[in-house]
Every structure is written in C-alpha cells, then in structure tokens.
C-alpha cells in the first residue's frame, strides 16, 4: 500500500523530470536559433545567384563592347537602341522563370555592350584624356556599387519606402528620353546626368533591399535591374566627367 513518503518521492521525481525537459528544450532552442530558417536561406540563395549572374553579364557586356570597338561598329541611333533594349527586356521578363531566361539576360546585356562600344570609341578618339575618363568612371561606378551593396546588406534596412519616388523618377527619365528625340537638351545634359546617377544609386539600394527582405525572389530580374543601374551610372558619370573636363 502506497505511503505519503512514496507520494512525495513521486512528486519530486516528476518535478525533476519537468526541470530536465525544460533544460533540454532550452538547449535545443538555443541551437536552432543559430540556424537560418528556410526564408533566410532562400534569400541568401537569391542574393548569391544575383551577384554571380551579374558578374557574368558584366564581363560578357564588356567583351561585346570590346568587339564593337575592335570592328568599328557604328552607333545604332536612339530609336534602334530603345527598341532593341525594351524588346529584349520584355523577352527577359517573359522568360524569367525558365532556363531560357538566362539566354535572354545575356542577349540583353550583350546588346547593351555593343551599343556602348561606339560611345567608348568616341571618347578614346576625340577626347585627349578619354582613356583616363573611362577608367575613372568605371572605378567610381564599382566603388559606388560596392558601397551601396555593403550598406544594404549589413544594415538590412527596408528600402521599400523608396519605391514610389523611384517609379516617378523612372517615368520622368523616360519622358526626358522621348523629348530628347525631338528637342536638343544638350544644355541640360549635366543636370540630367546627375539626376540619372542619383536615381540609379537609389535603384541599387532598393533592389538589394528587396532581395534581402524577400520582395524580390527572382535572381534573373534582380540581375537585370542591377545591371541597368550600373550601366546608366557608368555612362552618365562619363558624361559628367567629360562635360566637367570641357
């Protein structure tokens, strides 16, 4: 027959078991806290794939620019350039979730590299220190991208609030490009180029933040956005330096 001593012993045993379970659960939670969750792993994968594809497309675009310069390809003109760009951009968007999307990305960036070749040739041929201006623009563009990306990744600040401002800026830029087809805006070139550089730096922050916070989960589209931003920063810095040199 159970006595009060046995009941006390059982209660003590139950309390000890409960303490052990709490200790085990606490230790397990601590270990799990150091393990990235599925969402964070997916975000890191998108960010890694974006930077890898971006590096590959930049190298390919540079190679196409070199081919264009070597063979003396002429400037295609604003209409052909815009039609080719938006056509390939639309194709990339349509194929963004397939392997063919990668080919579209390289087609787009390769085309932009070809259109860049005549501009670089003109600087090297007509500007006394054209080579120095090109390298300076390239270096500043690289430093800007590294700094902006590092800030967005390290701070993990949500830049989604910039979306509305950037959309208005992009539509404004498109309007300026269309007006420039019919009206000479060379007198405002320095202000336009400075505005484009500021707009594209905002785009880099916004796109990188979107990747980090899960707003952008397609590395093909993220690559195109970052590439276009870098392309525009480079050519507009080149214009600013050229105008300043004049």
Mean pLDDT in each 10-residue stretch from start to end of the chain (246 residues)?
45 52 46 51 88 96 95 89 94 94 96 94 86 92 95 90 86 81 75 90 94 90 96 93 65
* Cβ–Cβ < 8 Å for 123, 130: yes
Q: Is the dihedral angle over the CA atoms 121, 190, 230, 137 positive or is it negative?
A: positive
Residue 182 three-state SS: coil
* Six-digit token string for 52: 């890898």
* Cβ–Cβ < 8 Å for 202, 102: no
Question: What phi, psi does 133 have (nearest 5°)?
Answer: -65, -40
Task: Identify the pLDDT of residue 77.
Answer: 87
Task: Identify the pLDDT of residue 127.
Answer: 82
User: What pTM was computed for the model?
Assistant: 0.80
Task: Identify the pLDDT of residue 19.
Answer: 53
- Listed in sequence order, the DSSP H helices in the chain are 4-33, 38-70, 78-94, 100-126, 130-155, 163-180, 189-212, 219-245
Neighbouring CB atoms inside 10 A of 105's CB total 26
Task: Identify the pLDDT of residue 142.
Answer: 95
């Amino acid at each position: 027959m159970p006595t009060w001593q046995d009941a006390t012993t059982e209660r003590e045993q139950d309390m000890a078991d409960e303490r052990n379970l709490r200790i085990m659960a606490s230790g397990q939670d601590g270990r799990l806290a150091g393990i990235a969750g599925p969402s964070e792993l997916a975000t890191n994968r998108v960010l890694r794939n974006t930077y890898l594809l971006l590096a590959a497309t930049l190298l390919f675009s540079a190679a196409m620019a070199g081919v264009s310069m070597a063979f003396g390809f002429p400037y295609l003109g604003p209409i052909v350039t815009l039609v080719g760009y938006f056509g390939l951009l639309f194709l990339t968007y349509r194929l963004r979730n397939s392997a063919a999307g990668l080919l579209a990305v390289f087609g787009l960036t390769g085309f932009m590299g070809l259109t860049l070749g005549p501009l670089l040739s003109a600087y090297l041929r007509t500007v006394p220190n054209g080579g120095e201006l090109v390298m300076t623009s390239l270096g500043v563009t690289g430093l800007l991208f590294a700094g902006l990306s590092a800030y967005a990744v390290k701070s993990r600040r949500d830049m989604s609030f910039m979306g509305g401002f950037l959309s208005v800026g992009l539509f404004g830029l498109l309007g300026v490009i269309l007006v420039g087809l019919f009206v000479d805006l060379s007198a405002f070139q320095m202000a336009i180029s400075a505005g484009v550089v500021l707009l594209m730096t905002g785009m880099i922050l916004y796109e990188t933040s979107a990747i980090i916070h899960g707003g952008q989960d397609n590395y093909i589209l993220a690559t195109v956005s970052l590439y276009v931003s870098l392309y525009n920063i480079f050519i507009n810095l080149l214009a600013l330096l050229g105008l300043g040199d004049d």
